[in-house]
Amino acid sequence: MIIIWTDFAIKNLKDIFDYYSTEINKKIAHKIRREILQSTNQLKNNSELGQIEFNLEKLEQNHRYLVCGNYKVIYRVFENQVIINDVFDTRQDPEKMNDEKRKFLISPRFIPI
């Protein structure tokens, strides 16, 4: 399986990194980013590892998620690709996942891990 990150997911990961860099320190920011990226590596061999994301069922795209610290890495499988759609802070209201402003299904692109 190939791991593909959408621009939206990359932006969210960058926002998380920037927040921790500013509010805590860069060492912690790098650690959190590394853990999130490493958690997706296990999907290469077992794409159904994560649980079904019930908050996104209405999209009918079989989204799944992995939990990494305070974050859900939301993904879906398409052919031989695992598409990472979002990195969602679990401390937020889960209904926010369905917000029209969250355009996490667009523009997949590769990101080196």
List pLDDT tens digits, range 56-96. Answer: 877 888 899 999 999 999 999 988 899 999 999 888 777 77
Give whole-number Cα distances, 55 to 14, 21, 52, 78, in Å: 23, 30, 9, 19
Confidence of residue 98 (pLDDT cuts 50, 70, 90): low
List pLDDT tens digits, range 34-55. Answer: 999 999 999 999 888 998 888 8
SS (HEC) of the chain:
CEEEEEHHHHHHHHHHHHHHHHHCCHHHHHHHHHHHHHHHHHHHCCCCCCEECHHHHHHCCCCEEEEECCEEEEEEEECCEEEEEEEEECCCCHHHHHCCCCCCCCCEECCCC
Calculate mean pLDDT across residues 22-35. 96
Top-level CATH class of 2-105?
A: alpha beta
Domain regions of the chain by residue span: 2-105
